C-alpha cells in the first residue's frame, strides 16, 4: 500500500534532518528527531544509514539513547555497528540493554570484540552475560532475563514497598507484573502479583500472602516445550530455576512467541537457500554472494545427478518426444507435494508434537495422503496427455509415474526432517536439497522406465 504524500514528505524530512544532524555532530538534534519519529519510520531510516553514519550516531548519543537505537536495528546491523565502535563505547551501550539482549549480542559479536567488550563491562554485568551466553539460544536459559523483583519470604509488605521507593529509577526499566519470593537458600518459594502487593497490609510477611509452589521451568527446557507450557498456562512470564531449585531469571511469554516466530523465519530463509544467518541487502556484496553460493553450488551437483537419469534413457526420450514436455511437470508436482510434507514435519518438530521416533507414524499418515493425492494428480495428468496425443498408453505411463512419485515424495518429505533431526543436522537446511534430488531422480526414472517398457504402444 502506497503511503500518502504527506507521510512520504515527513519521512524524507526526518531522514534529511537526521543525516544533517549526524554530519554536524549535533547530538541534541539527533536525539530530538529520533524521539519524535514513529517507530516504523525510525527503523526504516536507521537501517538505511551507511555504516559510518550509524557508527557516528551511536557515538553522539548517550549510552541509553544509543541502546534504544541498537534495539530497533535488525540484529545483523546492530552487531556490525557495535563491532565498529571502540570496546568502551560498545560496553557502555550494551550495559543499558536488558540481560537477554546483552547475551544475544555478545554471542553474535566476533569473539575478540566480545571479549574486549566484556572486559569493559562492570564485573557483575560481565559475569551475568558470560553465564547467559553459555545457554542454547532456544532454551529457557537462553531466553530468560535477569531483571526481576525478588525478595526473601521473611520480608514484610512494608519492606518491599520501601525498597521499591528507594530503587524506583532502577526498577523503572523492569517489565514485570509479578515479584518472586525465595527462601533462605535462594530457592523459589512463591510469587506475588504486584496488584496483591499494593492492596495488602504493610505488616504482613510475604510468605503469608504469596502464591506458594508456583509453576516454574527448568533453565535447560527447550523452546518447543516452553511454547507448550505457555499454551497450557497463558501467564505473562514464568520463573526459571536451576536443577537445585535456585531462582535464575524469568522467561516472558512474548519472548517465547518471538523466538518461535524467529525460528519459522530462519526455517523459511534456509529452505530458500539463504544460509549463514540473517541477510540484509546492506551487507557487503561478497558476504551475501558467498552465503547464497554455499547452497546453490551444492544444488547444482544434485541436479546433475538427476539429469544423468535422462541421459541414460536418451533413446526412449528421442522415440517419444512428448515425454520431454511432461518430465518437468512430474518432477515439479511431486516436489510440491513433498515440500508440503516437509513443512508439516518441520512445523510439528518446532511445536514439539512430533519427535524423530515418530517416523513410522509419520510415514503411515503421509503415505495415506500420498495415495489419495497421487491418484487424483495421476488421473489428471493422464487425461491431459490422452487429450493432447490421443494415446491412452501415454496417459497411463504418465499417470502411474506421477501417482507413485507423489507417494514417494510425501513419504520422503515427511520422514527426512525427522531423520536429520535425530542426526543433529538442521532439517530446514538439508531437507530441501535431499527432497528435490530424490523426487527428480525417481520422477525421471519412473517415467522413462515405464515408457521404455511400453515403447511399442507409445510409438505405434
Name the residue ranges covered by the structural domains of the chain: 5-134, 149-269, 285-459
DSSP 68-122: HHHHHS-HHHHHHHHHHS-HHHHHHHHTTS-HHHHHHHHHHS-HHHHHHHHHHS-
Each residue of 413-435: pLDDT tens digit?
899 889 888 887 667 666 777 78
Closest CA relative to residue 181, chosen from 192, 172, 173, 170:
192
Task: State residue 38's pLDDT score.
Answer: 81
Torsion of CA 286, 292, 297, 302, to 10 degrees: 180
Strands 188-193 and 211-212: antiparallel
Task: State residue 309's pLDDT score.
Answer: 77
The answer to whether the 5-134 and 149-269 domains have the same CATH topology is: no
Cα 176 from chain centroid?
Answer: 25
Angle between helices 323-351 and 223-232 (to 10 degrees): 70
Q: Which residue has the cell 528435490?
A: 436
- Which stretch of 44-58, 265-279, 281-295, 356-370 has the lowest confidence by average pLDDT? 265-279
Q: What is the mean pLDDT of residues 53-74?
A: 89
Question: Which of the four pLDDT bands, split at 50, 70 and 90, describes residue 3?
Answer: very low
Hey, which residues does 211 pair with through a beta bridge?
191
Q: Which residue has the cell 554472494?
A: 289
CATH architecture label of 285-459: Orthogonal Bundle (1.10)
Mean per-residue pLDDT of the chain: 83
Considering Cα of 13, then 19, then 21, then 23, what sign does the dihedral take?
negative
Q: Which residue has the higher pLDDT, 354 or 368?
A: 368
- For residue 40, pLDDT over 90 is answered with no
User: At 237, which helix (H) or strand (E)?
Assistant: strand 237-241
Q: What is the mean pLDDT of residues 304-311?
A: 76
> What's the CA gap between 260 and 349, in Å, rounded?
12
The fold of 149-269 is CBS-domain (3.10.580)
Specify which of 145-154, 269-278, 331-340, 402-411 reaches the highest per-range mean pLDDT. 402-411
> What's the CA gap between 44 and 274, in Å, rounded?
23
Given this structure, which CATH class describes domain 5-134?
Answer: mainly alpha
Task: State residue 318's pLDDT score.
Answer: 77
User: Do 416 and 427 meet the contact criterion of CB atoms below 8 Å apart?
Assistant: yes
Cα 314 from chain centroid?
Answer: 44
Task: State residue 349's pLDDT score.
Answer: 80
Q: What is the mean pLDDT of residues 359-383?
A: 93
Cα 282 from chain centroid?
Answer: 20
Task: State residue 1's pLDDT score.
Answer: 39
Amino acid at each position: 500500500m502506497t503511503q500518502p504524500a504527506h507521510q512520504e514528505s515527513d519521512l524524507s524530512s526526518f531522514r534529511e534532518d537526521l543525516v544533517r544532524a549526524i554530519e554536524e555532530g549535533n547530538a541534541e538534534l539527533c536525539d530530538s528527531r529520533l524521539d519524535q519519529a514513529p517507530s516504523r519510520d525510525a527503523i526504516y531510516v536507521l537501517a538505511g544509514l551507511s555504516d559510518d553514519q550509524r557508527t557516528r550516531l551511536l557515538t553522539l548519543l548517550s549510552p541509553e539513547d544509543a541502546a534504544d537505537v541498537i534495539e530497533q536495528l535488525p540484529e545483523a546491523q546492530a552487531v556490525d555497528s557495535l563491532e565498529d565502535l571502540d570496546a568502551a563505547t560498545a560496553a557502555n551501550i550494551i550495559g543499558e540493554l536488558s540481560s537477554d539482549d546483552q547475551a544475544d549480542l555478545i554471542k553474535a559479536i566476533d569473539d575478540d570484540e566480545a571479549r574486549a567488550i566484556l572486559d569493559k563491562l562492570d564485573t557483575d554485568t560481565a559475569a551475568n552475560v558470560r553465564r547467559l551466553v553459555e545457554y542454547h539460544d532456544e532454551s529457557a536459559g537462553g531466553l530468560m532475563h535477569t531483571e526481576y523483583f525478588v525478595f526473601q519470604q521473611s520480608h514484610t509488605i512494608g519492606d518491599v514497598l520501601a525498597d521499591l521507593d528507594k530503587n524506583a529509577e532502577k526498577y523503572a526499566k523492569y517489565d514485570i507484573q509479578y515479584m518472586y519470593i525465595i527462601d533462605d537458600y535462594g530457592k523459589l518459594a512463591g510469587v506475588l502479583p504486584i496488584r496483591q502487593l499494593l492492596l495488602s497490609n504493610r505488616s504482613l510477611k510475604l510468605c503469608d500472602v504469596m502464591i506458594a509452589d508456583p509453576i516454574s521451568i527448568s533453565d535447560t527446557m527447550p523452546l518447543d516445550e516452553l511454547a507448550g507450557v505457555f499454551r497450557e498456562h497463558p501467564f505473562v512470564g514464568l520463573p526459571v530455576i536451576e536443577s537445585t531449585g535456585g531462582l535464575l531469571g524469568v522467561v516472558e511469554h512474548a519472548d517465547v512467541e518471538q523466538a518461535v516466530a524467529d525460528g519459522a523465519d530462519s526455517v523459511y530463509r534456509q529452505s530458500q537457500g539463504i544460509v549463514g544467518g540473517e541477510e540484509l541487502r546492506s551487507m557487503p556484496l561478497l558476504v551475501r554472494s558467498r552465503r547464497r553460493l554455499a547452497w546453490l553450488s551444492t544444488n547444482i551437483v544434485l541436479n546433475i545427478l538427476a539429469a544423468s537419469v535422462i541421459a541414460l534413457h536418451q533413446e526412449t526420450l528421442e522415440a517419444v518426444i512428448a515425454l520431454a514436455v511432461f518430465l518437468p511437470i512430474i518432477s515439479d508436482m511431486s516436489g510440491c507435494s513433498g515440500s508440503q510434507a516437509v513443512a508439516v514435519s518441520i512445523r510439528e518438530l518446532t511445536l514439539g508434537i512430533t519427535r524423530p521416533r515418530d517416523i513410522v507414524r509419520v510415514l503411515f499418515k503421509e503415505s495415506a495422503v500420498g495415495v489419495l493425492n497421487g491418484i487424483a494428480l495421476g488421473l489428471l495428468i493422464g487425461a491431459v496427455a490422452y487429450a493432447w496425443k490421443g494415446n491412452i498408453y501415454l496417459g497411463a505411463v504418465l499417470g502411474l509415474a506421477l501417482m507413485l512419485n507423489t507417494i514417494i515424495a510425501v513419504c520422503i518429505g515427511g520422514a527426512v526432517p525427522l531423520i536429520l533431526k535425530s542426526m543433529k543436522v538442521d532439517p530446514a537446511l538439508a531437507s530441501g536439497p535431499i527432497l528435490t534430488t530424490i523426487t527428480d531422480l525417481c520422477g525421471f526414472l519412473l517415467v522413462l522406465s515405464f515408457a521404455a517398457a511400453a515403447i511399442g504402444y507409445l510409438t505405434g
